[in-house]
Amino acid sequence: MKFNILITAFPFVNEYKKLRKLFKKHNFNIKVIKTSQYLKEKDLIKVVENIDGILCGDDEINENVLKKANKLKVLSKWGTGIDSIDLETCKKLKIKVFNTPGAFTESVATQALAFILNFNRKILENDNNIKKGIWNKFEGVTLVGKKIGIIGLGNIGLRIAELLLPFKSKIFGNDIKKINNKKLKKLKVNIKSKNYIYKNCDIIIIATDLNTSTRYLINKKTLKLIRKKPLLVNIARGPIINDQALILLLEKKIIAGACLDVFEKEPLPLKSKLRKFKNVIFTSHNAFNTVEEVNKVHFNTYKNLVLGLKK
């Protein structure tokens, strides 16, 4: 049987010429669509008819798209997060959904630490000034004794806590799931409420999944809870932080600054007010992007697609 395959995951698309040999031994008819980040519903609806399997990224795979995909059997998600897929409709239509759990734990956790060290030691400012011929000194701060709150203690959140151990910080964590006590003790993580983290921490790291309970977790109400002018780091999902609330946090100097790999709208709009703040460090939803883990996910996503179609 010949299967029609749609590939939209932009990291996979960018490397597809190198990865074509993976598909050669299978009777696949491949259609590749290039995108800078993800495909919206209106674009997907045009191409999903008669498609058996999709190797997708953060595409808008909602009920309308799934109902249009009359032959779809498998969705193989490139990466971990599946919040952009309507799982309930997939279940009703008996469409198999695969991902790679824990795919980018090391990459994303080290990005969080890199953000914090860069911000606290003002490395970017120092570098920019030297390139302009300005030889000045920036006073930074260490992490020793700093209170760091991690919201979301999945694989990434716990790995961040582990990486912070040598810095002798005080680590507080929050998760709706119960976390193994031995693991928490080993990593010296104290479980606290989100409100406690907002009120007491010098650094707040968002490492939770995006779901109905975490969408706009940081909102205008949060402004009243934050006390210690913390650094806010988001390496999770953009819509966990409401953009307007973040702008107010920065304008009112309620937070020291922000480090953002993800945004409510991606790519970040050119007219976004967030671009005006000098105390914000951006990366382009790129925390996942290390050679080792990307290659692992390429192969696993391909393998999931094949297994799903062959079963």
CA angle 157, 159, 162 (to 5 degrees): 115
Query: Could you report how far apart the first and last alpha carbons of the chain are, in Å?
Result: 13
- Residues labelled as active-site residues: 237, 266, 285
Q: Which of 173, 170, 166 is nearest to 205 (CA)?
A: 173
Check whether the bond before 267 is cis (ω within 30° of 0): yes
Place of tokens 């759990």: 101
- Asked if residues 77 and 85 have their Cβ atoms less than 8 Å apart, the reply is yes
Burial of 291 (0-12, 13-18, 19+ CB in 10 A): exposed
